Amino acid sequence: MFNKCLRFLMLSIFIFALSLLLISCGKDVPSPSTSQDADTAVEGSENGSITEIPSGSITDTTDTTDSTNTESTETSAESTGTSDNKTNTDTTTNLPLYATPEDDNLGFDTYFSTTFSEYMKESPDFIGWFKVPGTNIDYPLVQGKDNDYYLRYDYKNSPDMDGSIYLDYKNSPNLYDTHNAIYGHYLFKGTMFHDLHQYKDEDFYNHHRYVVIVTSREAVLYELFAVQRVSAYNYYLSFNLDPGELVEYAKHFKRNSIFDDPLELPEDLSLLTLVTCTYEFDNARLLLHAYKKRTIPLSEISEWLSF
């Protein structure tokens, strides 16, 4: 009799425990997809894909989650000034940001100070706008007191390992010199001078030949004529050249270009060199050389800046 009671008691305990287990299994638990999403968000915040966007900034939408990036990709959103983020009218003055044919008598200094007034307020080193049509290169142009500072600071003078696009400190800020040089980092995430590497492809080079620079005095259209890979250990740029030396300098660029460009250069030259890193060999640099083709009237600025 005692054994029967004991077996009955054990059976009751087993049934009670089983019922508790079934009830607990019926409760909600996080799905695998929810857990995965949370992990991705945490990982993204560590590798720079989730960034705090500064108030009023124009942001770069390039994906920065590439874990193979060996350069600085973990930075806050940077101002690019791309045409997708610009409006056609300055709401404070009702003057067009991109001038029309009717605005040719506006005066270039007025157009510049109106269009770029916010950049001028934010940086005393702001000297203009730099754009390579057909690429993502579309940035404020600055000039420091040396060629090192803006490698690690943005145009607002905030620490930023992406640096800035900047004119050589030895050049005139209005680009009046016969040879000007502009520098920028090559970043794997696709910003700054990354797109200059597309010019290693001859077909791309042939179809994207122009550079536009807008300063407080004029807008200038440059045309590319040579692409070089050089060693930073033994290569130097010269700026103070007389007209004859400048022609020979341009011929030197053409002879050493990775492409044979049949373009004939005018004798009255003004040169521009774009400089960034490349990685074919130790301490290599990629140089793109262009000449001043013509100035751009106010009525054409919208066409060139909206590419």
The string of DSSP codes covering 163-219 is --EEE-TTS-TT--SSEEEEE--B-TTS-BTGGGGGGGSHHHHHH--EEEEEESS-E
With a CB cutoff of 8 Å and minimum separation 6, the contacts of 182 are 130, 141, 165, 166, 167, 168, 272, 273, 274, 275
- Judge contact between 281 and 217, C-beta under 8 A: no
Identify the H or E element spanning 119.
helix 117-122
Number of residues that make up the chain: 307
Let me know the angle formed at the C-alpha of 49 by 48 and 53, rounded to the nearest 5 degrees: 85
What token pair was written down for 188? 């794997």
Residue 172 CA neighbour count, 13 Å, CB half: 11
- Strand-pairing partners, residue 167, are 143, 182
Q: How many whole angstroms separate alpha carbon 6 and alpha carbon 4?
A: 5
* Bridge pairing between strands 165-167 and 210-215: unpaired
Between the alpha carbon of residue 24 and those of residues 18, 29, 30, 34, the distances in Å are 10, 10, 14, 20
In this prediction, residue 47 carries a pLDDT of 27
In this prediction, residue 2 carries a pLDDT of 55
Identify the H or E element spanning 23.
helix 2-25
In this prediction, residue 114 carries a pLDDT of 83
Q: How many whole angstroms separate alpha carbon 126 and alpha carbon 124?
A: 6
Is 291 strand, coil or helix? Answer: strand
Q: In this structure, which amino acid lies at residue 189?
A: K
Domains, the chain, ordered by start: 72-305 (2.40.260.10)
In this prediction, residue 275 carries a pLDDT of 97
Q: pLDDT by residue for the chain (307 residues), tens digit each?
A: 555 555 666 666 666 554 544 444 343 323 223 333 322 222 222 222 222 222 222 223 233 333 333 333 333 223 333 333 333 333 323 333 344 444 455 567 788 888 888 899 999 999 999 999 999 999 999 999 999 999 999 999 999 999 999 999 999 998 889 999 999 999 988 899 999 999 999 999 999 999 999 998 889 999 999 999 999 988 889 988 899 999 999 999 999 999 999 999 998 899 999 999 999 999 999 999 999 999 988 878 877 877 5
Q: In this structure, which amino acid lies at residue 116?
A: F
In terms of pTM, does the model score above 0.85? no
Q: How many whole angstroms separate alpha carbon 118 and alpha carbon 137?
A: 20
